[in-house]
Amino acid sequence: MKRILFGAAAAAIVAAGAALYAGTAGSAAPEATFVLLDGSTKTAADLKGKVTLVNFWATSCVTCVAEMPKVIATYEKYKGRGYDTLAVAMSYDPPSYVVNYAQTRKLPFKVAIDNTGAVAKAWGDVQLTPTTYVVNKRGEIVKRYVGEPDFAELHRLIEKLLAEA
């Protein structure tokens, strides 16, 4: 009986993972309004035309802070080729901490604060940080990473997407 239950649970997990992957790969980036640190806004439609990394993070997230230099290096490497990065701070992150982090680390890309949690909800009810999405030039999500991405793999994906018309 335990073996049957274990098998059913494993099958359910695989099916859920496949559904989640199918639900994000190639689907349009959700409609959401990002409020940037300077008070301006950006929408999902604004992501079109560039390959964009949308990174949900928090200043209290050890993995987020540890991966940020690699996120910056990736941005610096590809920004001249039609690549952008948007870092979205989670709703529980105090805005003053986010502003301080962005200024002291000299983050070279746009940073948004998701005050209400609406952006995280729209993007698949993001709760774990870091959660990172890769959006192609057509504004479609092509990859989602939960946890720190494999940056070598991420760079290969970015190069492939930048090469597409």
Residue 7: pLDDT over 80: no
> Before 69, cis peptide (omega within 30)?
no
Please state the rounded mean pLDDT for residues 93-109: 97
Looking at residue 165, what is its pLDDT?
Answer: 76
* Nearest to 83, CA basis, from 58, 65, 63, 108: 108
Cβ atoms of residues 127 and 41 within 8 Å: no
User: Residue 32: how many CA atoms within 13 Å on its side-chain side?
Assistant: 25
Going from the N-terminus, what domains does the chain have, and what CATH number goes with each? 28-163 (3.40.30.10)
Q: State which amino acid sits at residue 134.
A: V
Q: pLDDT confidence of 25, banded at 50, 70, 90?
A: low
